[in-house]
Amino acid sequence: MNPRPAHTRPHLTAPTVLLTAFLAVTTAHAQAATSITLPAAVASALTAGSTVRDAQAGVTSAASTLRAVQADPSTLAGALLSAQQDSTLAQAQLTQARLTATQNAVTAYTALYQTQEQITLQQLQIQVDTKNLQVAQVKLSTRNGTALDVQNAQNTLNSSRQALQDAQAQLLVNSQKLANVIGRPGTYTAAAPATPPAVRANTTLSSTYAALLKDRQAVETATLNVKLADNEFTARVTLDQARTTLASAQSTLATDQKTYLTTLATAQSSAEAAQASYQTALQAEANAQTSYKQDAVRLQSGTISAVALLQSQLTLKKAQYARAQALVALWQSLAALSTASGQDATGLAR
């Protein structure tokens, strides 16, 4: 009689060990993380983030300089205009900084949210791939499948495990990025963002659009210099140089305005396309939800297998992830539209 083989514990493969380690890290992250909403993240970026704080310091400094210049009776017209322009520009730059901070917060927040959704999808994908591997192994044992089928199923499972590991690692990175943007150290989980405001047609730049305001101020300064040089006691060459500078400033203003309007038009089109894609994704998710409910009924009646229902559940999860991706794209496009127009399109930059 042959001795019975000693019982041994199943050997854990390297992918399994790594996956277990990543799951432990992510579990620890979730337990230690603070849940935050999109409006709260933006509000923190506007109050604690360095972008707005630095711009606010610029406003304070420019206002102080302007007061000093205005109080000095010996101040010349050029110096007064320069101080006034600096103060006005600082205010415009603060407005732009708030829009930029909002965009940065939206981008960081939605990236974290999308990674969380990706992890949920990959976890279910691994369940499906594990079941498919088990099915392939059973078929091989009953001579209803091949070793190649088993190997292919194993490769698919390994690929899904790797995708989950990558997402787990990215989760930690994105959480840190969000913490940096909002100016509050810590680890965070992102709650599902609400549906953003509808995209509105916008073909004009804000009157305080900082880059364009700077160009207009250059024209204003050049115009003053022409006026100051257009007299009998100033050399003609000085007047000619002032006129040349004015013409150059006017040309720069016209060119930049066309460029900024083109950028705005592109951002507007992207936002409209993102809104349409989101509506399509919502409908696809609703259809997948209906199909899953129908398959659940079929399972109860015995017309489909549990494996088929699990596959239907994965199809639904993929539709939900596609909807999450579309929502992220819509929020990000609205934030980009805000910075392109100089006007808040997100409803968050208050």
Which ranges constitute the DSSP H helices of the chain?
14-32, 38-48, 50-71, 77-141, 147-182, 210-229, 236-301, 306-341
What is residue 226's three-state secondary structure? Answer: helix
Contact 266/202 with Cβ under 8 angstroms?
A: no
Residue ranges of the chain with per-residue pLDDT less than 50 = 1-15, 17-18, 21-22
Task: Give the integer Cα–Cα distance in Å for 155 and 142.
Answer: 21
Domain coordinates of the chain in residue numbers? 34-341
Burial string for 223-239 (b: 16+ CB within 10 Å, else e) reads: bbbbeebeeeeeeeeeb
Residues 6+ apart with CB under 8 A from 344: 99, 102, 338, 350
User: How many CB atoms lie under 10 A from the CB of residue 212?
Assistant: 20
pLDDT value of position 49? 83
Contact 209/260 with Cβ under 8 angstroms?
A: yes
Q: Sign of the C-alpha dihedral, residues 110, 111, 112, 117? A: positive
pTM confidence score: 0.87
Residue 350: exposure state from Cβ atoms within 10 A (0-12, 13-18, ≥19): exposed
Per-residue pLDDT tens digits for 267-308: 999 999 999 999 999 999 999 999 999 999 999 999 999 999
What is residue 34's three-state secondary structure? Answer: strand
User: How many CB atoms lie under 10 A from the CB of residue 272?
Assistant: 15
Task: Give the integer Cα–Cα distance in Å for 199 and 203.
Answer: 12
pLDDT value of position 38? 98
Task: Give the integer Cα–Cα distance in Å for 41 and 111.
Answer: 13
Q: Distance between alpha carbon 289 and the CA centroid of its chain, in Å?
A: 27
Name the token pair of 81: 């205009």
At the fourth CATH level, the homologous superfamily of domain 34-341 is Outer membrane efflux proteins (OEP) (1.20.1600.10)
Residue 340: exposure state from Cβ atoms within 10 A (0-12, 13-18, ≥19): buried
What is residue 348's three-state secondary structure? Answer: coil
Task: Give the integer Cα–Cα distance in Å for 121 and 26.
Answer: 15
Per-residue pLDDT tens digits for 144-153: 999 999 999 9
pLDDT value of position 32? 78
pLDDT value of position 30? 57
What is residue 1's three-state secondary structure? Answer: coil
The CA-based diameter of the chain, rounded to the nearest angstrom, is 125
Task: Give the integer Cα–Cα distance in Å for 239 and 231.
Answer: 9
Task: Give the integer Cα–Cα distance in Å for 21 and 18.
Answer: 5
3-state secondary structure 113-158: HHHHHHHHHHHHHHHHHHHHHHHHHHHHHCCCCCHHHHHHHHHHHH
Contact 61/178 with Cβ under 8 angstroms?
A: no
Task: Give the integer Cα–Cα distance in Å for 129 and 152.
Answer: 10
